[in-house]
Amino acid sequence: MQKTNPAGNAMRGNAGSAGRRLWLWHWLPALPFILLPLLPPAIHAQQQQVVLTEKQTDDLRDAAQDPEARIKLYIGFIDERTTDIRQLATRSATSGQSARLHNLYQQFTELADELSDNMDDFDQQHGDMRKVLAAVVDKTGEWNAALKAPKSDDAYQFERASAVDACQDVHDDAAQILTEQTKYFADQKQKEKQKEKQKKGGG
C-alpha cells in the first residue's frame, strides 16, 4: 500500500497554486487586449463622433498645405453646426431634440479643437493666415451666441459648457496668433526693405 505524504501534497498544492498565480500575473496585462474584441463596441470603446462627410475629409486633405483654405473649411463646418443649433432653439421641444443638441455641441467642440490645432500648426510654419484669422475672431462672436440660444437642459448642459469654452479658446488663439503674425510679417517686410537698400547702396 502506497503511503501518502501530507506535507508533500501540501507542498505540491502550494506550488501549483503559486504557479497559477504566476501564470495569472504574467498574462494579466494582456487580458484587456484578449477580451477587447469579444466585448460589445459600446462597452470596450467610446466611439469618436464622426462629424465630417467623405467629401469634407477630402477637401481638408486637398487643402493640407493651404492655411487660408483649410481654416475656411473649418469655419464652414462649424457654421453648419451653429446654424443647426440656432434652428433647433427656435423650434418647439420634440422627441430627440435634446439628443440632437447634445451631439451638435460635441461636434462643435471637436471641430473647434481641430481648428485651434490647425491654426497653431500653420503658425509654427509661418503660414500667412492674417486675413482668415480676422474672420475667425469675428465668427466666434456669432458661434458663442448660437451655442447659448437653446434653453437650459441637463441633457446637454455639460456639452454646451465645453463648446462655449472651446469657442473662447478659438477666439483667444486666433486673436493672439493674428497679433503675432501681424508683427512677424511687418518685421519681414522691413528686413526686405533693408536688403534692397543694401543692394542699391552696394551697387
pLDDT digits (tens, 9 = 90+) for 119-130: 999 999 888 999
Surface-to-core class of residue 142, CB atoms within 10 Å of its CB (0-12 exposed, 13-18 middle, 19+ buried): middle
Tens digits of per-residue pLDDT, 124-165?
988 899 999 999 999 999 999 999 999 999 999 999 999 999
Q: What is the pLDDT of residues 50-109, one digit of tens each?
A: 578 999 999 999 999 999 999 999 999 999 999 999 999 998 878 899 999 999 999 999
pTM score above 0.75: no
Residue 65 to residue 52: CA distance in whole angstroms = 19
Q: Is the pLDDT of residue 171 over 90?
A: yes
Coil vs helix vs strand at 66: coil
* pLDDT for the residue 34: 46
Residue 95 phi, psi (nearest 5): -65, 130
Radius of gyration of the chain (CA): 29
Tell me what pLDDT residue 26 has: 52
